[in-house]
């Protein structure tokens, strides 16, 4: 069998493993607040998130196109060498995902993948498209959590004012029902964002192997496989990170859970469909939880936990890049 074909199959399988780890790593993004407020039971929430993740993967390809564009010009038609670059990027991303999952830190799978692509690209002297990295990754990376925090804070203030004379028990019951919708919207946005990132990487492998050109669309089988992998990963759970998002940052009530999920989902849709920006679902929902929680009082948010999360955010791209560069270097030694 052709060695290049074997390598393409191997890279696709590793990409789907990354997609699976993305699912269990980021399962908490969509449902932690709903579980912590007892709006949904864990298994029901996970099943719903898995289904919505699957459906969200078919809502567009803008994010996949952005991910693919980062190093596409450097690996297209490059054969085994280009495939080694893509494989190194995936190893860097998966390694960082597993490290942060083990310690229960809600870091960004998206930025781990982007860091991996940049690190492997630089190590291999492949052309990194820096305008795409700056305009569609770094700027949205900063803006999305800021918008999430401010938007959730503002929406929660509006809810508090609008229901100021209502019975608290009835308000909580109604917002538990509303959280079913907001959690579903968040899970759909997660599929829209994160499943497409794996599609983009698989397409890079197909480009490197010479099976497709940059002008071709994402094949349907790539969409289905990426959607399936992330859904299976989501259903497998992600309990360590769920505890961090759901309770350690702040004890949420149903209205605050609804506000944080609604704003986070909106940011994901706008960034993906409007800008094609692969923003972090983790950053967005975490900052939204903080914004909604801060309406109680700023001291109610456990800022020590938040600082640890922010630290993970800052180091994710460079850490994944270093691992990816090392993985590429090791892989390079085995090339014929």
Report pLDDT digits (tens) over 124-166. Answer: 877 788 888 888 888 888 888 889 999 999 999 999 999 988 8
Q: 150 vs 254, which has greater pLDDT?
A: 150
Neighbours of 85 (CB within 10 A): 31
Delimit the domains of the chain by residue range.
3-329
Q: What angle do CA 113, 116, 120 make, to 5 degrees?
A: 150
Instruction: Using the predicted structure, report yes or no on whether residue 318 has a pLDDT greater than 80.
Output: yes
**pLDDT reported for residue 147:** 94
Report pLDDT digits (tens) over 73-82. Answer: 777 767 788 8
Q: What is the mean pLDDT of the chain?
A: 82
């Amino acid at each position: 069998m052709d060695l290049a074909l074997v390598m393409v199959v191997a890279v696709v399988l590793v990409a789907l493993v990354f997609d699976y780890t993305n699912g269990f790593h980021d399962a908490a993004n969509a449902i932690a607040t709903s579980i912590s407020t007892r709006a949904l039971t864990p298994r029901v929430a996970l099943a719903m998130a898995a289904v919505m993740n699957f459906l969200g993967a078919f809502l567009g390809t803008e994010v996949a196109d952005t991910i693919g564009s980062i190093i596409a010009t450097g690996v297209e038609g490059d054969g085994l060498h280009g495939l080694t670059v893509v494989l190194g990027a995936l190893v860097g991303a998966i390694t960082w995902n597993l490290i942060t999952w083990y310690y229960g830190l809600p870091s960004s799978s998206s930025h781990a993948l982007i860091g991996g692509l940049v690190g492997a690209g630089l190590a291999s002297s492949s052309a990194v498209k820096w305008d795409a990295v700056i305009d569609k990754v770094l700027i949205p990376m900063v803006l999305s959590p800021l918008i999430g925090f401010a938007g959730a804070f503002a929406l929660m203030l509006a809810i508090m004012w609008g229901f100021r004379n209502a019975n608290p028990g009835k308000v909580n019951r109604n917002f538990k029902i509303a959280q079913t919708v907001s959690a579903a919207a968040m899970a759909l946005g997660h599929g829209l964002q994160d499943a497409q990132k794996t599609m983009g990487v698989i397409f890079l492998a197909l480009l490197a192997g010479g099976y497709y050109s940059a002008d071709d669309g994402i094949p349907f089988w790539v969409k289905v496989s990426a959607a399936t992998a992330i859904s299976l990963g989501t259903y497998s759970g992600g309990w360590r990170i769920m505890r961090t998002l759901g309770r350690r940052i702040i004890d949420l009530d149903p209205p605050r859970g609804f506000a944080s999920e609604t704003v986070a989902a909106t940011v994901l849709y706008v960034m993906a469909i409007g800008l094609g920006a692969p923003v972090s679902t983790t950053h967005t929902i975490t900052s939204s939880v903080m914004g909604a929680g801060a309406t109680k009082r700023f001291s109610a948010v456990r800022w020590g936990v938040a600082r640890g999360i922010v630290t993970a955010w800052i180091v994710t791209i460079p850490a994944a890049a270093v691992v990816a560069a090392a993985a590429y270097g090791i892989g390079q030694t085995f090339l014929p």
